Structure 1
Amino acid sequence: MTDETFDADSTSPYASPDSKKFHEAAERALDHHFKPAVEPRPKRETGLFSLSPGTDAEALMANASEDLLSISVIACDLADDLHGSRRSVALALSRMADGVRLMVEGMLDHIEVRSVKAKP
Structure 2
Amino acid sequence: MPDDTLDTPETSAVHSTPPYLCGDSKRFHKAADRALDHYLKPAPRVDGHNPRKPAMIFIVDPEVDNETLLAQVCELLASANAMVSDLAGLMEGTQRNTMLAVQQVIMLGELAVNRALDNVGAS
What range is the shorter-chain TM-score in?
A: 0.5 to 0.7
Q: CA RMSD in A?
A: 2.0
Give the aligned partner of residue 100 of structure 1.
109
One-letter identity of the residue aligned with 2:95: R
Partner letter of residue 103 of structure 2? S
**Corresponding residue number in structure 2 for 1:10:** none
1:58 equivalenced with 2:67 (yes/no): yes
Q: Which runs of 5+ in 2 are unaligned?
A: 1-45
Alignment match of 2:77 (pick from 60, 68, 72): 68
C-alpha deviation, 1:87, in angstroms: 0.1
- 1:111 is displaced (CA, Å) by 0.5
For the pair 1:83 / 2:84, whether they are aligned, the reply is: no
* Equivalent position of 2:57 in the other structure: 48
Tell me the distance in 1 between the aligned counterparts of 2:67 and 2:118.
10
Q: Which runs of 5+ in 1 are unaligned?
A: 1-36, 115-120
Identity level (%): 27
Q: Structure 1 residues 85, 42: CA separation in 2 closer, same or farther (over 3 Å shift)?
A: closer
CA distance in 2 between partners of 1:65 and 1:54 (Å):
19
Distance change (3 Å), C-alpha of 1:81 and 1:40: closer
- How far is 1:108 from its partner? 0.4
Q: 3-state SS of the aligned residue for 1:68? A: helix
| Cα distance in structure 2, aligned partners of 1:40 and 1:104 | 34
